[in-house]
C-alpha cells in the first residue's frame, strides 16, 4: 500500500501544500506519494456545526459533519475511512462525509479522514475544540442572622442550553442539618434548602457550602456564613 518515498524534501513540501488547503485549519498527516506524480491528495477537510461560533469549536453533545475533498490524478476508485482517535463517541461514516457527536467533556478532539486508491494513501486531521461552559451561581437568598430554621434559595444557570443542561445543586453545613427542597435545575432556575439548628449551641456562626454540578462534570462552589441566635 505504501510505496517507497525517495525524496524526503519533496514529501515535506507536499505536506506543507496540503496544510494550506485544509479549511479545517489544522494539519495533514502523512501523504504517501506515487513516485510517478499521480498520487491521491486530500485537498480539503471541512466541517459544519449545529452549535458553535464557526472558529473550530463546538458546544458539547452537538453534532457536526466532516467532508473530504479528494483529488486523484489517476482517476482511480478510492475508499474513504474515518477515525476519531481520542474519544469514545460515535463517528458515523457515509463515504466522503462523516457525522460526529461531540462528547460532554470539554477539550481538544481529533477526527482523521483517509483516502486510499489501492496504491497510495492520503490523510488529513481536523481538530475540534469542545466547550462545556461552567454553571453559574446567580444569587443566594438567606438570612444572615437566624433565630431558627434558615431557608436558602439558590438561583443557578448554565449558558449551554442545547441540548439541555441538567444542574444538580447541593448544600452542606458544618453544623446543624440540611433538608433539600428540590435540587435539580434544567438550564436555569432555583433550588431550595432549609438549615435546621438541631443540636446546635446558641450564638454560633454556621458555614454553608453550595455546589453546582453540570454534565461535564464541572463544579462551581460558593461558601457563605450566617449567625444563629435563637
Say which residue, 223 or 67, is predicted with more confidence.
223
* Mean per-residue pLDDT, 199-204: 93
Per the CB < 8 A criterion, the answer to whether 227 and 209 are in contact is no
Set of cell numbers at residue 226: 450566617
Res. 179: pLDDT tops 90: yes
Domains and CATH numbers, the chain: 8-131 (2.60.40.1080), 136-228 (2.60.40.10)
Please, which residues bridge with residue 40 across strands?
A: 72
Q: Rg (Cα) of the chain, in Å, rounded?
A: 27
Per-residue pLDDT band at 192 (split at 50, 70, 90): very high
Say which residue, 55 or 137, is predicted with more confidence.
137
Backbone angles phi, psi at 56, to 5 degrees: 90, 10
Backbone angles phi, psi at 61, to 5 degrees: 70, 5
Spatial separation of the C-alpha atoms in residues 168 and 182, rounded to whole Å:
10
Per-residue pLDDT of 109-168, as tens digits, reads 999 999 998 888 888 888 889 999 999 999 999 999 999 999 999 999 999 999 999 999
Q: In the sheet where 184-186 sits, what is the strand order?
A: 145-146, 219-228, 204-213, 166-173, 184-186
Per the CB < 8 A criterion, the answer to whether 18 and 113 are in contact is no
Per-residue pLDDT band at 7 (split at 50, 70, 90): very low
What is residue 17's predicted lDDT score, i.e. its pLDDT? 31
Amino acid at each position: 500500500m505504501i510505496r517507497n518515498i525517495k525524496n524526503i524534501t519533496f514529501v515535506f513540501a507536499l505536506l506543507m501544500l496540503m496544510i494550506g488547503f485544509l479549511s479545517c485549519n489544522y494539519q495533514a498527516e502523512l501523504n504517501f506519494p506515487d513516485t510517478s506524480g499521480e498520487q491521491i491528495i486530500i485537498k480539503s477537510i471541512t466541517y459544519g456545526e449545529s452549535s458553535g461560533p464557526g472558529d473550530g469549536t463546538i458546544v458539547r453533545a452537538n453534532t457536526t459533519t466532516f467532508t473530504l475533498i479528494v483529488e486523484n490524478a489517476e482517476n482511480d476508485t478510492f475508499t474513504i475511512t474515518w477515525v476519531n482517535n481520542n474519544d469514545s463517541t460515535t463517528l458515523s461514516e457515509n463515504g466522503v462525509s462523516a457525522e460526529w457527536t461531540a462528547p460532554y467533556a470539554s477539550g481538544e478532539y481529533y477526527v482523521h479522514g483517509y483516502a486510499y486508491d489501492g496504491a497510495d494513501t492520503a490523510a488529513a486531521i481536523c481538530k475540534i475544540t469542545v466547550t462545556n461552559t461552567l454553571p453559574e451561581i446567580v444569587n443566594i437568598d438567606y438570612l444572615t442572622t437566624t433565630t431558627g430554621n434558615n431557608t436558602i434559595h439558590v438561583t443557578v444557570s448554565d449558558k449551554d442550553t442545547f441540548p439541555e443542561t441538567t444542574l444538580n445543586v447541593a448544600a452542606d453545613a458544618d453544623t446543624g442539618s440540611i433538608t433539600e427542597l428540590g435540587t435539580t435545575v434544567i438550564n436555569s432556575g432555583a433550588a431550595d434548602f432549609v438549615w435546621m439548628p438541631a443540636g446546635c449551641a446558641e450564638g454560633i456562626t454556621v458555614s454553608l457550602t453550595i455546589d453546582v454540578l453540570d454534565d461535564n462534570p464541572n463544579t462551581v462552589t460558593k461558601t457563605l456564613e450566617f449567625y444563629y441566635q435563637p
